[in-house]
A = this chain, B = another copy of it.
Amino acid sequence: MALTIGDLSKATATKVETVRYYERIGLLPKPARTQGNYRAYGQAELGRLSFIRRARDLGFSLDQVRAMLGLSDDQACDCAGIDRIAREHLQEVERKIADLTALRRELTAVIQSCDGGTIADCRIIEALGPSAGI
Contact = CB atoms under 8 A, between A and B. Distances in A.
Interface of A: 11-12, 46-48, 50-51, 54-59, 68-69, 71-72, 75-77, 79, 82-83, 86-87, 89-90, 93-94, 96-97, 99-101, 103-104, 107-108, 110-111, 114, 117-119, 122-130, 132-133
B93 A104 contact: yes
A78 to B, nearest CB: 8
Contacts of A99: 54, 57-58
Given A93-B100, A101-B97, A118-B75, A125 B51 contact: yes
Number of copies: 2
A57 B104 CA distance: 15
A124 B75 CA distance: 12
A79 B110 CA distance: 10
B125 A111 contact: no
Nearest to A69: B125
B107 A93 contact: yes
